[in-house]
Amino acid sequence: MSAIKSRPIYPGLKVDERAKRHLVAAEGEGALAVLEAFADAPDAWSRMTLLYTPGGSAPANHSETLQGRAPDAFHLHPTRQTLMTRLNALLDTATMGTRLYAAGVEGHIGEVVAAGLAHGVDHLSIRTEHRGSLARRVQCVHCKGFIDDVTISPVPCAHCGVPLFVRDHYSRRLAAFQGVSINAETPDEVPASEELYK
């Protein structure tokens, strides 16, 4: 019963039949979630703007499969950052009837949801599915820097160097778990890191 109360639930992608436009942001194995969810909705692809970044799944070549389904617009991005830049631009001009979807690792979903929030999209209206590794996006509470794809705890902050314990506390606005100094009370020792969120 140790579910993290502030951690979002990702119920899975479900096509909104009534949407005029499907704005889909997928990362890595999230491609498979998109293919599965939209398999039974062939008409939807012609109203889809699909953004994809392969992440660690590049060898599987999901991008070709996605493109083969002929979405109305397809944007392939080298990184999550470049995908987010494009998504934010699309959200700036999105019209009524647009439905937002996110699939992939948790850090990616979180960033898409946070971008939606910043554009006035209710977070509960965003359809989400977690695929791929359990890596966490972490924010250092001390210097406020973000660290992506964290699989170990403690993790050294990539910005200020403080060794961080990753708390089970999640902020949707920041799309990140909270990292807090692990050795503030034992400055001379840093516990060994363990792989926790593979």
Partner 1 sequence: MTIQFKTETFRDDFTFSNSPEAIHRFPFPFDKDEYMYAVNIEQHMPGPVKSAFEFPIDIDEHYVSEMKDRALVLKQDPLRCQSLPHMITAEWDLLELLMESMAKNYPEHFTLTRDGDSWHWVNGPLGIDQKFTFGDTSTLPYPPMEYITRQCQGDFNLIDQRNDNLWMDAGIVTTQADWSLDFDIGMNFMEWHAPVPLAHDIGVFDRALKFLLNLQQGRPVRRLNWTMTINPRLDTSPENYHKWGVDRTTVTPENVGNKVHLRVELQALWRLPRSNAIVFSIRAYLIKMEELVTIPKWGRRFHRVLRDLKPELADYKGLTRYRQMTVDYLSKFDDGAPTSPGFFPD
Question: Which residues here bind partner 1, judged by CB under 8 A?
Answer: 1, 4-7, 117, 139, 141-142, 144, 162, 167-174, 178, 180-181, 184-187
Find the shortest distance in angstroms from Cβ 184 to partner 1: 3
Find the shortest distance in angstroms from Cβ 112 to partner 1: 16
Closest CB to partner 1 among 69 and 169? 169
Find the shortest distance in angstroms from Cβ 180 to partner 1: 6
Find the shortest distance in angstroms from Cβ 36 to partner 1: 29
Residue 189 to residue 191: CA distance in whole angstroms? 6
Angle, CA 106 vertex, CA 102 and CA 111 arms, to 5°: 60
Closest CB to partner 1 among 1 and 192? 1
Closest CB to partner 1 among 47 and 123? 123
Task: Give the up-direction half-sphere exposure of residue 130: CA atoms within 13 A in the CB hemisphere.
Answer: 12
Does residue 78 have a cis bond before it (omega within 30 degrees)? no
Closest CB to partner 1 among 4 and 39? 4
Q: For helices 106-118 and 80-92, what crossing angle results, to 10°?
A: 20
Contacts of 12 (CB under 8 A, 6+ apart): 33, 37, 127, 128, 129
Find the shortest distance in angstroms from Cβ 95 to partner 1: 22
Closest CB to partner 1 among 183 and 193? 183
Find the shortest distance in angstroms from Cβ 62 to partner 1: 33
Beta bridge partners of 24: 50, 101
Residues constituting the chain: 198
Query: Residue 195: what are its φ and ψ, rounded to 5°?
Result: -80, 110
Question: What SS3 state is found at 161?
Answer: coil
Residue 13 near residue 101, CB atoms below 8 Å: yes
Closest CB to partner 1 among 30 and 163? 163
